[in-house]
């Protein structure tokens, strides 16, 4: 018996912003013992049109298949990974050009804060420090750590062409592993999908010429594929894949 839907838990109604979840469970066609499950607005299902006007539902298996197909089309493709790497390198180059002055500025600020910290420690050693000094030292420690991390990021060398080729090759291999996971059982597929989503999937109903459909909108991230230093890949502006009724 089917007990859950792949998108359940990270989908929202485009009308009221409450969860889109599995609803229904009534018997199928005449003579069929198998219930039919749907994805729909939980708020409408529980409280009716007085709280949300979105009474549209779509078959659960159609929603699952559609989301999987779009994930594969948008993310689980070598071209998508190459695009992400190219965009990351372009942004890195532009940031370094625009922020070429920052390393010297950060180094000057670090010297100033370190001197302040040393002065406060000297006051403590001499027994002349007020009670607020320890709090100020803690604030300086946190600020120094942030500036040191930022300086380290700015001073990191850009990857070589060889390193980029290795990265592309590694990511292409990971795609096959991730696609197999996405097409596994529902719990494994849900875990994989949750990693790839940067936010929630919006189910917005639309009716045009008597044809009722859902527009789906979401943003995706390749962080679980790339790891640290990732760049998010959002769906293009205006991209509204349609889920068949």
More confident residue, 9 or 151: 151
pLDDT, tens digit, 9 for 90 and up, residues 62-103? 888 888 888 888 778 888 778 877 877 777 777 777 778 888
Dist CA 189 CA 1 (whole Å): 18
* Range among 39-48, 80-89, 120-129 with highest mean pLDDT value: 39-48
In a domain, 32, yes or no: yes
Last residue of one domain, picked from the residues 142, 159, 176: 159
Provide the whole-model pTM: 0.57
- Mean of the pLDDT values across residues 218-240? 54
230 pLDDT higher than 50: no
The answer to whether 41 and 20 are in contact (CB under 8 A) is: yes
Residue 155: domain span: 100-159
Last residue of one domain, picked from the residues 119, 140, 159: 159
Residue 74 and residue 193 share a domain: yes
Cα 5 vs. chain centroid, distance in angstroms? 20
Residue in 209, 105, 206, 117 with CA at minimum distance from that of residue 154: 105
């Amino acid at each position: 018996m089917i007990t859950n839907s792949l998108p359940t838990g990270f989908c929202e109604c485009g009308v009221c912003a409450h969860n889109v979840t599995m609803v229904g469970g009534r018997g199928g066609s005449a003579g069929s013992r198998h219930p039919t499950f749907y994805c729909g607005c939980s708020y409408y299902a529980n409280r009716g049109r007085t709280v949300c006007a979105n009474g549209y539902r779509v078959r659960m298996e159609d929603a699952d298949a559609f989301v999987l197909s779009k994930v594969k089309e948008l993310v689980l493709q070598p071209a998508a990974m190459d695009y992400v790497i190219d965009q990351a390198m372009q942004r890195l180059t532009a940031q370094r050009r625009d922020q070429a002055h920052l390393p010297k500025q950060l180094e000057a600020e670090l010297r100033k804060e370190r001197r302040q910290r040393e002065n406060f420690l000297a006051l403590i050693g001499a027994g002349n420090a007020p009670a607020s000094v320890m709090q100020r030292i803690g604030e300086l420690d946190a600020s120094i750590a942030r500036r040191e991390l930022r300086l380290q990021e700015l001073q990191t060398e850009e990857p070589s062409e060889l390193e980029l080729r290795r990265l592309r090759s590694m990511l292409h291999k990971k795609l096959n592993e991730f696609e197999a996971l996405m097409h596994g059982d529902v719990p494994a597929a849900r875990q994989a999908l949750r990693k790839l989503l940067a936010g929630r999937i919006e189910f917005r109903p639309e009716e045009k010429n008597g044809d009722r459909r859902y527009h789906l909108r979401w943003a995706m991230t390749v962080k679980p594929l790339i790891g640290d230093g990732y760049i998010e890949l959002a769906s293009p502006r205006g991209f509204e894949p349609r889920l068949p009724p």
